Chain A
Amino acid sequence: MSMRLGPRVGEVIDRDEPLSFTWNGRTYPGYAGDTIASALAACGVRVFSRSFKYHRPRGLLTASHLDPGCMVQVDDEPNVRGAHRRVRPGMDVRSQDTWPTLSFDVKAANELARRMLPAGFYYKTFMSPGWLWPAYERVLERFAHGGVVGPGKVSALDGNERYDKRHAHPDVLVAGGGPAGMAAAVTAARSGCSVMLVEEELELGGHLRWGDDVDLTALSELRGRVAATPGIEVLTDAVVLGRYDGNEISVLQRGLPHVAERLVKARARTLVAAPGLIERPYVFAGNDVPGVMLSTAVRRLVNLHAVKPGDRAVVLTANADGDATALDLERAGVEVTRVDARRGGDVTRALGRGRVRAVELGDGRRVECDLLVTATGWTSAVSLLTMAGDQPRYDDTAARFRPDASRLPSDVMATGGVVGDGSCAQLVAHGEATGREAARRSAQSSVTASAAPPPLPVEPHPALFRGRTHGMVDFSEDVSSKDLFTAVEEGFRCPELAKRYTTATMGPAQGKLESVNVVAIIAEATGAAIAETGTTTWRPPYAPVSLGALAGRLREPTRLSPLASWHHSHGAAPLVAGAWIRPDHYGDPVAEAASVRDGVGIIDVTPIGKIDLRGPDVSRLLNLVYVNKWSKLEVGRVRYGVMCGEDGVVIDDGVTGRLAEDRYLMSTTSSGAVTVWEWLESWLQTERPQWRVHATPVTTSYASINVAGPRSRDLLARVVDDVDVAPEAFPYMHVRTGRLAGVPGCVVWRIGFTGELSFELHVPAGYGLHVWERLLEAGRDLGVRPFGVEAQRILRLEKGHLIVGQDTDATTKAYGAALDGLVKLDKDDFVGRPELSWGGQPGDGQRLVGLRMSPDSLVPAEGSQLLDHRGLICGRVTSSRLSPALGRAVCLAQVEAALAEPGRQVTVRLVDGGTARAAVTEQLAQVDPEGVRLRA
């Protein structure tokens, strides 16, 4: 049955562009410009969904983005607001959460059990016994509302579509594109401001769009002014989600090409909130039966979409908009019975189930009809203002809460219907004055004197919330006025508590339609005044937002060495180490480790932190931040150093070399590269600003390659141009600079993390690949092979070299890391000295030791607990590997200091629940403890 009307002056449908789509599998016609709901309503569809708890049939209530009754599934997208989304050709639209069909829904049986689903149902029912929770969960899932993400259909997003984010910096952001908002935007822009005008609906205009000829003339004039004014960015189908500190306004924008949804993070100098008014439903028995609609819903359907919402209507009106609705209906050929609430008229009950059949009036009359329209009052859309600190006050005259402008910060203003009533001209004038003042506050206008907009009039309105019967209050959550009375009886007398107890205002509409009714009914139930009952709190987001929009594009910085492409093309298993992607191994870490012990291997150690230090006071800085002594480091030497925090806890280690009289190169751990540099800067900038030192991070200026193994000198000799690598010319713990493989500006230091003779080459990064390939080529006959991080971990563990952060933790002081020999308390001052000189003596806390397992090939998992002879936890394994060189497990462990003596036995608790014995070793180093190999 077609309910489509003939052409209307303000209609937004394009009759030249018919289309078809499917609803629950059946094909329906529509026009371009129709919403899903208007196209279906034009075909006589009245039921769009089933309600949340009782699965009652639901039709259109507001016919807008707020409509709680027509959330639908569109293709693979759930929870689409059907009265807002425009219908597209071929769209597959389905009702949500109904089974087996929308018209025959089994769960409607819940309705019969209504007395068993009282207020606080969840809290009362699914409480105990706790072990039944998994079963409860399955029950609750079946009750849950909502569609399905991607139910087997190909995604509606095309290849370019993404969730997206962008930043914006408008001088003035106007939230709401009704007459006042448009006027404010135009005036602010004409004053020289950049303006962002945000409108939640699909086009600008607010209530003017469904108004009379005068309204439509004003609308077209205002839209023309917006379009003709440079400096206004108009965002339609975009909703302001929240206002945050620093006037950061988050806006969710939809309907863009190539973008599914875009979150705009706007930093506005001034926010002008022009959200207008929301029409409030009336509470009475049967107020959720399909065919009971708000007056604005009717005017949208009739005037925007040319849809006749019924044939016989009862209009309960308390205001001019209700009167206008009755006229609109009559002009559309609907038979209308007016019930004037201003003269005591009332509706007590809507009869019918799938659709309204009749209405019972307050005077006892019963009127047959298929449409009941209510125009009983307005709610100010104050949520954005309350996020800025406003506390709305109840206005008895207007029968609604109104914002208290005096509580707003200077960078937030309000205009339009949210402020007061008035003719279109009055709203526009208020908007203009607000726009002018917003421009002044944004400091972009030549007008300097503050000019607060004149107040808008407030028209008297009858206070209509609940009639003489109980009805639905929260249509999203199926909470009735009776539930609220019950909640109050049970002691939940404050709206904040009653809300949580009943879940009223907690559904998708988030209180926009129902919160004032909730407050009024609680006031009625408690006998208090509305003003003293107060409201619930508005928090962002104002409208439901998809997680995709909040996430936006994934931006996770990734760092790559200049050798990354080589590693990738040579089968390296990637290891994510912080932001770095490193080669864990090239297939066989054990063989890689063996080649270093027996011959020579090369490893990419580019992530090692490198800091260029210059200036006359560098040695003072080194003496301050390292626990050991640095004043006598000669040019050409490198030294190992350990840094502690002010609490004596080890924070980093590494070697620093002196390249010239006042030029040093410091190395740090890979993970500590950034924090160590910031640490140095904090001392130089705050406690020692008089020191003349420049510290510059140069980690990625160099590709760093460690050449390790007994044949490393032979290999290096083949690629150096002007560095003498002979043992006597280049001893252990020395540094040289020069040219390698034709590359100038290289730094080479002779150190040995792996425990083998080794050289660390720092090569200008762009030449890294060249030098790496030259090393492999030049060392082919030496059996050189690349090794990865895993082989390096094996090698260093065999040698007993600790890794800060793995073998130490946030409580490990220098002594606990077995670094006693390094700490020089006879230095005047160094970071950590006070703590290390008092509390951190050997004997306190835990201590780093080597462990020998029994059986000795057993490799306990890292993190395995250690138990003492009483079975109490006395430490943990910090590192463990099977040593290829020794053919047994090598472990480092933190153990209570009293047990940290060679030969002491502990029990290791294994992951599988078993235990093993272990003995503390003589030294940390298990391979070459004398250090002969690295000094070769």
Chain B
Amino acid sequence: MPETTPVIHGPVAPAPPVGVLAGWAVSRRRSGAALTLSDHSLLAKAAVKAPWQGALADVLAVPFAGTLRRTAASTELLLTQPGPGEWLVLAPPGEQTALVTWLERCAADVDELVSVLDVTHGLCLVRLTGAAAPDLLAKECALDLSERRCPDRTALRTAVSRVAADIIRDDRDGNRSYLLACERSSGQYLFDSLLDAGAEYGVEVTGFEPPGVTEQTARAD
């Protein structure tokens, strides 16, 4: 039976107007607010497990609790290691096959147990950008996210709005910015919680805009 290309739905209902980007239903809303929240779940995502400080850790070269940008598989990646021997690797929308293939090739070169899972569909990923972002997060998260304890390029895992989430500090053009990742089914709840907590700071929803996590422009539809 012939199939039209199915639309992919992320964990967060997109704020209207809605369009399609790299196969995903996305919000086309554009906000110029000083504090914005944006659904980035369409980014390609892979979860990697390998021995702590093993051979694959050397290959990926991102420190524990840190992040690293690098180009591989002819795309720009954001690598993070929020858990010991646990990596979350992000790539532009639509690049999950290239991402997983590259990671599996890295895994094939080392003699240790490595698992590479495509979690593009399994995680909710949002980006919170603006100077007030740490103030908002201070309502939802017990951790000290000050410049001293959580500088740019920090990746850690903790409870946000009582949900386990990776917090990845990833500033954009000198603007405070955090990527938050949680398992998919809690994504809408987390998104709503952040909006609720951020009302005091005038947080607004803005649609995903390439480049999402990397400097490379995502493929437009």
- Which residues of A are interface residues toward B (Cβ below 8 A)? 160, 164-169, 194, 258-259, 265, 267, 553, 555-562, 565, 579-580, 606-607, 612, 614-616, 692-694, 696-702, 718-719, 721, 741-743, 745, 764-770, 778
Judge whether B139 and A766 touch: CB under 8 Å.
no
Write the nearest CB–CB distance from A660 to chain B, whole angstroms: 12
Give the nearest-CB partner of B197 in chain A.
A553
Q: Does B119 contact A (CB under 8 A)?
A: yes
Q: Does B49 contact A (CB under 8 A)?
A: yes
Judge whether A770 and B13 touch: CB under 8 Å.
no
Give the nearest-CB partner of B135 in chain A.
A166
Q: Does B185 contact A (CB under 8 A)?
A: yes
Write the nearest CB–CB distance from B169 to chain A, whole angstroms: 16
Judge whether A742 and B119 touch: CB under 8 Å.
no
Name B189's contact: one of A167, A258, A553, A558 (CB within 8 Å).
A558
Q: Known: A167-B141, A770-B6. Contact between A700 and B113, CB under 8 A?
A: no
Interface of A (DSSP majority class): mixed
Name A562's contact: one of B11, B47, B138, B162 (CB within 8 Å).
B11
Given contacts A700-B185, A702-B122, A742-B5, 10 further A-B contacts (CB under 8 A): A160-B199, A160-B200, A167-B141, A167-B142, A167-B143, A168-B138, A553-B197, A560-B188, A606-B185, A614-B115
- Chain A residues with Cβ under 8 A from B163's Cβ? 557
Judge whether A698 and B122 touch: CB under 8 Å.
yes
Name A766's contact: one of B5, B9, B197 (CB within 8 Å).
B9
Give the nearest-CB partner of A778 in chain B.
B1
Give the nearest-CB partner of A259 in chain B.
B200
Name A696's contact: one of B13, B117, B144, B161 (CB within 8 Å).
B117
- Chain A residues with Cβ under 8 A from B10's Cβ? 766
- Which residues of B are interface residues toward A (Cβ below 8 A)? 1, 3-11, 13, 24, 47, 49, 113, 115, 117-122, 135, 138-144, 146, 149, 161-163, 183-186, 188-189, 193, 196-197, 199-200
Judge whether B8 and A694 touch: CB under 8 Å.
no
Judge whether A555 and B161 touch: CB under 8 Å.
yes
Judge whether B115 and A741 touch: CB under 8 Å.
no
Residue with the greatest number of chain A CB neighbours at <10 A, chosen from B161, B162, B189: B189
- Chain A residues with Cβ under 8 A from B3's Cβ? 721, 741-742
A697 to B186, CA, bound (A): 14
Give the nearest-CB partner of A773 in chain B.
B6
Write the nearest CB–CB distance from B141 to chain A, whole angstroms: 7
Q: Known: A555-B161, A741-B6. Contact between A765 and B184, CB under 8 A?
A: yes
Q: Known: A258-B200, A692-B113. Contact between A764 and B121, CB under 8 A?
A: yes
The 8 closest A-B pairs by CB, nearest first: A701-B122, A742-B3, A766-B8, A169-B144, A770-B6, A559-B185, A700-B184, A765-B121
A764 to B41, CA, bound (A): 13
Judge whether A702 and B1 touch: CB under 8 Å.
no
Write the nearest CB–CB distance from B206 to chain A, whole angstroms: 21
Name A742's contact: one of B6, B13, B188, B199 (CB within 8 Å).
B6
Residue with the greatest number of chain A CB neighbours at <10 A, chosen from B10, B184, B189: B184
Q: Known: A259-B200, A614-B115, A696-B115. Contact between A166 and B139, CB under 8 A?
A: yes
Q: Known: A160-B199, A702-B121. Contact between A562 and B115, CB under 8 A?
A: no
Q: Known: A606-B185, A612-B115. Contact between A265 and B142, CB under 8 A?
A: yes
Give the nearest-CB partner of A743 in chain B.
B6
Judge whether A615 and B113 touch: CB under 8 Å.
yes
A751 to B57, CA, bound (A): 40
- Chain A residues with Cβ under 8 A from B11's Cβ? 560, 562, 765
Judge whether B146 and A194 touch: CB under 8 Å.
yes
Give the nearest-CB partner of B139 in chain A.
A166
A765 to B187, CA, bound (A): 13
Judge whether A694 and B200 touch: CB under 8 Å.
no
Write the nearest CB–CB distance from B26 to chain A, whole angstroms: 12
Q: Known: A557-B163, A558-B186, A743-B6. Contact between A167 and B115, CB under 8 A?
A: no
Write the nearest CB–CB distance from B46 to chain A, whole angstroms: 12
Write the nearest CB–CB distance from B57 to chain A, whole angstroms: 15
Judge whether B117 and A698 touch: CB under 8 Å.
yes
Judge whether B113 and A258 touch: CB under 8 Å.
no
Write the nearest CB–CB distance from A566 to chain B, whole angstroms: 10
A385 to B188, CA, bound (A): 43
Listed A/B pairs (7) with beta-carbon separation below 8 Å = A557-B189, A560-B11, A606-B185, A612-B115, A614-B113, A694-B113, A696-B115
A743 to B24, CA, bound (A): 14
A616 to B114, CA, bound (A): 11
Give the nearest-CB partner of B140 in chain A.
A555
Judge whether A557 and B196 touch: CB under 8 Å.
no
A692 to B115, CA, bound (A): 11
Write the nearest CB–CB distance from B103 to chain A, whole angstroms: 14
Judge whether B184 and A169 touch: CB under 8 Å.
no
- Chain B residues with Cβ under 8 A from A164's Cβ? 139, 200
A834 to B118, CA, bound (A): 40
Write the nearest CB–CB distance from B53 to chain A, whole angstroms: 15
A694 to B142, CA, bound (A): 30
Judge whether B47 and A696 touch: CB under 8 Å.
yes
Judge whether A769 and B9 touch: CB under 8 Å.
yes
Give the nearest-CB partner of B1 in chain A.
A718
Judge whether A615 and B115 touch: CB under 8 Å.
yes
- Chain A residues with Cβ under 8 A from B161's Cβ? 555, 557
Residue with the greatest number of chain A CB neighbours at <10 A, chosen from B4, B113, B121, B139: B121
A389 to B183, CA, bound (A): 42
Name B185's contact: one of A166, A560, A696, A743 (CB within 8 Å).
A560
Name A700's contact: one of B8, B138, B142, B183 (CB within 8 Å).
B183
Write the nearest CB–CB distance from A61 to chain B, whole angstroms: 37
Judge whether B47 and A557 touch: CB under 8 Å.
no
- Chain A residues with Cβ under 8 A from B6's Cβ? 741-743, 767, 770
Judge whether B142 and A612 touch: CB under 8 Å.
no
Name A767's contact: one of B4, B8, B184, B193 (CB within 8 Å).
B8
A559 to B141, CA, bound (A): 19
Give the nearest-CB partner of B2 in chain A.
A742
Write the nearest CB–CB distance from B59 to chain A, whole angstroms: 17
A265 to B140, CA, bound (A): 11
- Chain A residues with Cβ under 8 A from B183's Cβ? 697, 699-700
Residue with the greatest number of chain B CB neighbours at <10 A, chosen from A167, A553, A743: A167
A568 to B204, CA, bound (A): 26
A697 to B117, CA, bound (A): 11
- Chain B residues with Cβ under 8 A from A698's Cβ? 117, 119, 122
A698 to B199, CA, bound (A): 33
- Chain B residues with Cβ under 8 A from A769's Cβ? 9
A606 to B186, CA, bound (A): 13
A696 to B47, CA, bound (A): 9
Write the nearest CB–CB distance from A281 to chain B, whole angstroms: 40
Judge whether A167 and B139 touch: CB under 8 Å.
yes
Write the nearest CB–CB distance from A334 to chain B, whole angstroms: 46
Give the nearest-CB partner of A616 in chain B.
B113
Residue with the greatest number of chain B CB neighbours at <10 A, chosen from A694, A699, A719, A770: A694
Give the nearest-CB partner of A561 in chain B.
B185
Give the nearest-CB partner of A610 in chain B.
B122
A694 to B50, CA, bound (A): 9
Judge whether B141 and A766 touch: CB under 8 Å.
no
Give the nearest-CB partner of B146 in chain A.
A169
A606 to B183, CA, bound (A): 13
- Chain A residues with Cβ under 8 A from B142's Cβ? 167, 265, 267
- Chain B residues with Cβ under 8 A from A561's Cβ? 185
Judge whether B115 and A694 touch: CB under 8 Å.
yes
Write the nearest CB–CB distance from A109 to chain B, whole angstroms: 50
A698 to B45, CA, bound (A): 13
Write the nearest CB–CB distance from A600 to chain B, whole angstroms: 17
